[in-house]
Amino acid sequence: MTTLIQAKSPIPNTGDSMNRRTLLLILLLPLLVIFAAGLGYAVLLLPEQPQYLPNLVIENMDQSGVSHPVTAVLLNFRGYDTLLELVVLLLALLAVWSLNIPAARHKAAPNEVLDTLTNLLTPVLILVTAYLLWVGAHAPGGAFQAGSVLAASAVLLLLGGWRISVKLAGLPLRIILMAGPAVFVIIAVVTLLLEGQLLKFPPAQAGQFIVIIETVATVSIGATLAALFLGARPTATSNEVANEIDGEHK
């Protein structure tokens, strides 16, 4: 994998190509400065901060089930966006898996510092995940932030040489990846039956619905991002490689 990334550019670094690059830069820079100046002018010309949409959010906060406006927008007022975004994540993972890129075979050198750090940080990161998930109801936080922290702890484990076990790499992993969007869709259907409109949470139960969606979505987002980091689909063969490396450690 590293050798592929470091694959040399086929353009030799001769004086000729350097000249072309400098010429391109000289041509581009004035254009870019004009472009940036135009964008900056547009920003400075913007009208006063709009009132309508923020006021709409603030007026309806008591019906949203949470007290933080960003979470209310994400999970309630624009829940449709968030549902489709979870699907986008899943779609990206499907595309990455179908590309069939070679599994990364970086050997994690036995390193006491890395191992100790991983052992110490993983529980802390999981705790931070839970905190961010819970605090999202009334302060900055929520499923996406919590999911990212969870994915970070998984990436740390992966860098330390950990691989998902063969038993979990098949159906269980897929269930975890699917759980977020699936629960979201189920709740969307439930609200359709209860309120007659997709994702229109009844104000009394909105809080519970949001907590359920966010909890499952956090796990799914974390798993999806970690799987995206891994790249190749985890299979029995990639595990054998990892086990071999583990064997060398011991």
Partner 1 sequence: MNPANFYALIGIGLFSVGLLGLIINSHLLKKILAINIMGSGVFLVLVALAKRAENLPADPVPHAMVITGIVVAVSATALALSLMLRVASETGHATLPDEVEK
What is the Cα–Cα distance from 201 to 82, expressed in whole angstroms? Answer: 14
Residue 231 engages partner 1 in binding (rule: CB under 8 A): yes
Residue 26 engages partner 1 in binding (rule: CB under 8 A): no
What is the Cα–Cα distance from 108 to 106, expressed in whole angstroms? Answer: 6
Residue 153 engages partner 1 in binding (rule: CB under 8 A): no
Count how many residues are written for the chain: 250
Least Å from the CB of residue 167 to partner 1:
25
**All residues at 6 or more sequence positions from 219 whose CB lies less than 8 Å from its CB, including other chains:** 147, 150, 176, 179, 180
Residue 229 engages partner 1 in binding (rule: CB under 8 A): yes
Among 66, 74, 132, 206, binds partner 1 (CB under 8 A): 74
Cβ contact 188:83 at 8 Å: yes
Residue 176 engages partner 1 in binding (rule: CB under 8 A): no
What is the Cα–Cα distance from 187 to 184, expressed in whole angstroms? Answer: 5
Other residues' Cβ atoms within 10 Å of the Cβ of residue 171: 9
Residue 139 engages partner 1 in binding (rule: CB under 8 A): no
Residue 185 engages partner 1 in binding (rule: CB under 8 A): no
Which residue, 114 or 156, has its beta carbon nearer to partner 1? 156
Only segment of 43-51, 107-115, 174-182, 240-248 that touches partner 1 (CB under 8 A): 43-51
Only segment of 85-93, 154-162, 167-175, 178-186 that touches partner 1 (CB under 8 A): 85-93
Q: How many CA atoms lie within 13 A of 58 on its CB side?
A: 5
Q: Which residues bind partner 1 (CB under 8 A)?
A: 1, 4-5, 7-11, 21, 24-25, 28-29, 32, 35-36, 39-40, 43-44, 46, 48-51, 53-54, 57-58, 69-70, 72-74, 78, 81-82, 85, 88-89, 92-93, 95-96, 99-102, 142, 144-145, 147-148, 221, 224-225, 228-229, 231
